Amino acid sequence: ARQATGTLVLLHLRTPHSTIMLSRVAVSGRAAQRVIQGARNATTVAGAAVRKSKVAPVLAASAMLGGYALYTQKTETQSNVMGMLTQILNRIETIEEALGINFQADLEKIAAIKKSHPNNLAMKFFDINYFDSLSVEKKKELLAIARSGIANEDSGMGCYAMNPTDYDEFSAYLDPIIRAYHKVPAGQKHITDWDLKGVDGLPADGKLDVTKLGLPPLSMRVRVGRNLADFPLPGAMTKEDRIKMEDKLREAFAILKKSFGGRYHSLTPGSPDFINDDEYKALVKARFMFKDMDADTYLKTAGISSDWPYGRGCYVSEDKGFIIWVGEEDHLRIMCMNKNGKVLNEVFDRLKSALDTVESIPGLKFKHSEQYGYVTSCPTNLGTGMRASVLMKIPKLCADGTDKKAKAVCKPLGLGVRGMGGEHTPIGADGTCDISPTARFCITEAQIVTALYTGIRNLKAEEDKLK
């Protein structure tokens, strides 16, 4: 529209007390008079707004000077109208940049990524008409959600929610992305349910005992991502928010210690639970603590790793089987594990008990959407926020030293394959892989843990077929 001759363009320049509207109209003497009159009005409004607001002096002067220059310009011929409009547009862009509301560069990049990287879902579903319908502040919020995908063209998802209400408030943008990723039809609501009774695939005795499948005891883990309703999500948190949230969580850790023992380890300088660098490295090596997030370009550009290491830490129970990460991709990553487990129900039930304990503390309510379930920063984890997994040896499927064949077999079984240390890590030399159901959204917690049980049963059958 900026490049088209004779096209109507409307710009809303918002200040705390007014809205300035400038119009660019068809090339004619009459059109020029309209612009001059509009500019004259803008001068009056801008001057009043500046007097009443706290706009910076330089910006205020620019606004009044621009308005004055606009209305004093006069033209009587068509030949110089476009020159005048170009000057107006330049001044508008200067003011836009000063106010931080010039979105053109981002919009141009989004348009380019749509063509060059069609699998970037955040860019694929970015609708310029929807964007244009938003207020200036909401446009800023929407671009913050899409920032990671704009900065990282190769993103598969490309967006992170910034506030607990984003999925509902920006559903026109985020819902199509969620449905495309999770392969769930529009309108289907997520249901939260931890009750195993009646779930398809559950053994008659209700116990998910892996030894009854002919497997040895396995290292098993169930984790969830959770975000507190009273704080911005990690991508929009300030340093003060992070520290305040960590302080609030100490109440939960004090209660959890009574049942599970252990302690909280904080990376925040000055914290009463602060640990030094050597202690931190030891926790990372033991896989009890997450790595420096600032090294992750996707989290960094989304603002999730900002203010590192403030507000970050982990609670570890006395038996090392119950861990809570604080301040990673979500406010909390809560996990229960058993390195030599037989019954999946045990880690599943322990996790539910821990979640109930944390959420029972005033001010620690988890954000839950009626439509989308538990709110997470990344739409990939939305719904249950749950991942249930086991470390399982499948040496025949990994005979070539890779997980390529294992992934091909697991995909139709609804299972995902990772390395022993998680995503983007190598599998074990003996063919040990991390196996988990891939579904997170529009599936219940009870269905996920049962799907893990039936999935590894079917995977064992595929492994046994090979010689």
Active site residue ranges = 223, 329, 333, 378, 380, 387, 418, 423
Calpha distance 314→131 (Å, rounded)? 39
286 by DSSP, 3-state: which?
A: coil
CA-based R_g, the chain, Å = 28
Contacts (Cβ under 8 Å, ≥6 apart) of 298:
148, 152, 155
How far lies 108's CA from each of 105, 112, 115, 128, 141, in Å? 5, 6, 11, 11, 18
Calpha distance 9→352 (Å, rounded)? 55
Calpha distance 305→301 (Å, rounded)? 8
Long-range (24+ apart) CB contacts under 8 A made by 326-329 are 326/245, 326/246, 326/249, 327/234, 327/242, 327/245, 327/246, 328/234, 328/290, 328/293, 329/225, 329/234, 329/293, 329/299, 329/304, 329/376, 329/377, 329/378
What residue has token string 């390195």?
A: 339
How far lies 32's CA from each of 2, 5, 36, 39, 127, in Å? 17, 14, 6, 10, 33
Calpha distance 58→459 (Å, rounded)? 67
Calpha distance 244→231 (Å, rounded)? 9
